[in-house]
Structure formats: structure tokens, C-alpha cells
Amino acid sequence: MGAGFTGLVAALTLARGGASVIVVDTVEPGFGASGRNGGQVIPGLKDDPDTLDRVFGEATTAFAGGTADLVFSLIDELGIDCDPVRGGWIQASVKHLHLPRLESRMAQWRARGAAVEMLDPAGMAAATGGRGFVGGWIDRRGGSVHPLAYARGLARAALQAGAEIFRDAEAVSIKRGNGGWVLGFASGARLTADQVVIATNGYTGRLWPGLKATVIPANSIQVATAPLPDDLRARILPGRPVVSDSRRIANYFRIGPEGRLMMGGRGAFREPRDAADYRRIEAALASFYPEAARLPMGFRWAGRVAMTRDHLPHIHQPSAGVTMALGYNGRGVALASAMGRAIGAHLLDGANPLPLALSAIKPMPVHGLHPLYATAMIEAYRVRDMLER
């Protein structure tokens, strides 16, 4: 349930393995974050590899390090037409204070054989064509895709492998029946399945008790300028990497379709109403790229991501035959694809391990007040970001 990267890659894996698979989505494949994200394919999890090794084990670190490889190999293998570019991911810093942390992260991945390197201020200026970066590191495993085209390509591949996909199909109830789990739909239709995968991330509703309250659905907002003129296109991100900055409340950017400069970041908890709700990321764009900021803005849009308390995704299996994966904390193009793959493989054969230990569903206390406390937390992070040098 949920036709984003998690659900679609799980469905594809299961259908290819011979299972009989039905995917349902409230709207259509790619409607959620998967069809409207920034298209940055970034390997890794929030924790650094040494921590992952210590807390979860080396298999989880290897899984995290391989997520971007999986996306590009799926695109290759399935022939998905979605503008894949493997220009690397740069984590850029405007704060000297952050550099030792970035250097340590880079060294930990390098020790595990990843193609990574530090960039000094001159290297950053050359790689980004932007202002104000004091350093950063590049991870050449990363890159970009056109997210909606990637999601639709996965849906097409799942169909070809034998899965069925139903759009306009919101599951509104789930109950144990005689022949398996019975899903009820808003239309009155019913469906029975041995195994149900709930892959609804930031769009999770009240279907399964407590699940919605395990994540904070935050708006991620995104803008894209009018196409850049040739001179700026040659100067800005010439190697076509994707970039995030290292602040707690990060901005991320890349050159997108038609040579537009795209920038994304955290939005308010309510849905954006007008251009004023995008002012903060447009100010960030102007600070890094003042010339590009003089162009008219071509597009502004938003979507929902799922934040968790520990900034890590979670897999739950609260009952035999029901698996859920969510909580990508705004970075799920590579991770959600890889989680979908791992869950599909595990359901086909329990000997295939899941990449993270199963966790219990733990609703956050006073979850209904999340717009208040999460806004306060984000503002506190912004202040800390501002105070750091």
C-alpha cells in the first residue's frame, strides 16, 4: 500500500520473485514525496559508518552505502528514462565548525572503499560556482534523477513483472480475516492478502493504530528558477553534482530539468499558501547564487516527508503478515528504494535479512501538538545554525 519508491520497489521485487502482487495508492504512483522530491540520490543514513557498525552492525552500513548504487543499477537494468546523472553528492559547509565532522564522515566512508574526497574553499567554488562555502566533501556514489519519471518507470516495470496497480484506491480499514488480511477501500471494495506492506511515509493516516503518531509529517518545499542562461549554466555546478549544506536545517540544490536551478528545504507544517511561504529558501538561493536569484521563479511546490525521533527510518511488523517501513527524514530517494528492495526480498525468502532491526510502534506523546513543538524545535535548530561560525 502506497505507490512511492518503497512500495513500488517492494512490488517489483516481489512480482519478479513470482509473488502475486497488488499495489494500491490513494491517488496514483508517485503522488507522494516520491514524485515531487528534489531528485537527489544520496547514499548513507544519518549516522556515520562507524556508528552504524557499532549500533546496527556492518551489514547495515553496507546496506546504507549501497543505496545510491541500487537506484542507478535499477534505472540501467530496467531502462528507465529519468535523466540519471551520477555527478556525486556534495555536503557543503558554510561553517568552519562543521568541517571536522565532515572530514571524519568522509574518512569513514573512504576506509570502506567509497569514492569520496574533501573539497577546500577553492575546490568548493569550482565545483559549485556558489558563494560562501568554506569546505565540504564529495561522495561520488551520489547523483540525481527526475523523481516522477523514476517512480513511473518503476511502476511500469512492476506492471511488466506481473504486478497490478490500482490508483484512486485509498485503503481505509485493515482486519484479520479467514483467508488473510482484508483491506477495505473508500469505494467499498475489499481485497484479501497474505502479506501487506504499508509504505505510506509522510502520507501515513490512521489505518494502523499508532503508526501515524510515530512520525512527524513535515513539509519539504522546493523551488526551481527559470532555465539558466548559458553562461550561468556553465558556471553553476558544472559537473552536475547535487548539494546539501551541513546545517541542521539544511538547504539542498542541483541543476534540474531544462537547466533550472532547484533549491529545497524545510517548510512550515501547514500547506504552503503562496509565494511568501517559499521566501526562506529563495533567500538561501540568493545567498549562494545571487545572479540566478534575479531570474524569475519557474516553479514552487511542496510535499510531505516523515521525521522520526532518532532521525532513522523504521521497519515494523506488528502482526504476522504486516510490514511497514517509514521515516526517511527527508532523504529517501535512494533509501526508500533500497528499503523496498530489502522488504520485497525478505518477504520472498525470510532468509534474506532486513537492513534494520524491527522496532515496536511507539507513538510520540502529544503527537497532535506536533506542529507546535516541531516548529519550536526547528526554530531552535535555526538559531543554533545561525550562532555557529
Give the x/- contact pattern for ligand FAD in 221-240, rule: CB under 6 A. Answer: -x------------------
Q: What are phi and psi of 193, to 5 degrees?
A: -145, 150
Piece of 24-32, 73-81, 111-119, 187-195 that binds ligand FAD (CB under 6 A): 24-32
Give the x/- contact pattern for ligand FAD in 184-203, rule: CB under 6 A. Answer: ---------------xxxxx
Of 302, 6, 7, 34, which Cα lies nearest the Cα of 146? 34
Of 211, 172, 206, 203, which Cα lies nearest the Cα of 190? 172
Residue with cell 500547506: 271
Is residue 240 classed exposed, middle or buried when 0-12, 13-18 and 19+ CB atoms within 10 A define those classes? middle
336 binds ligand FAD (CB under 6 A): yes
207 binds ligand FAD (CB under 6 A): yes
Piece of 90-98, 115-123, 126-134, 330-338 that binds ligand FAD (CB under 6 A): 330-338
130, 25 contact by CB (below 8 A): no
- What pairing do the DSSP bridges indicate for beta strands 252-255 and 242-245? antiparallel
Near ligand FAD by CB under 6 A: residue from 42, 68, 70, 149: 42
**Amino acid at site 338:** A
Give the x/- contact pattern for ligand FAD in 119-158, rule: CB under 6 A. Answer: ----------------------------------------
Tell me the three cell numbers of residue 56: 546496527
Q: What angle do CA 373, 379, 380 make, to 5 degrees?
A: 90
Could you give the 3-state DSSP secondary structure of residue 384? Answer: helix
Piece of 123-131, 224-232, 279-287, 298-306 that binds ligand FAD (CB under 6 A): 298-306
Near ligand FAD by CB under 6 A: residue from 212, 266, 331, 346: 331
Could you give the 3-state DSSP secondary structure of residue 120? Answer: coil
Which residue's CB is nearer to ligand FAD, number 96 or number 208? 208
32 binds ligand FAD (CB under 6 A): yes
Residue ranges in contact with ligand FAD by CB under 6 A: 1-7, 24-27, 31-34, 36-40, 42, 170-171, 199-203, 205, 207, 220, 222, 252, 264, 302-305, 328, 330-334, 336
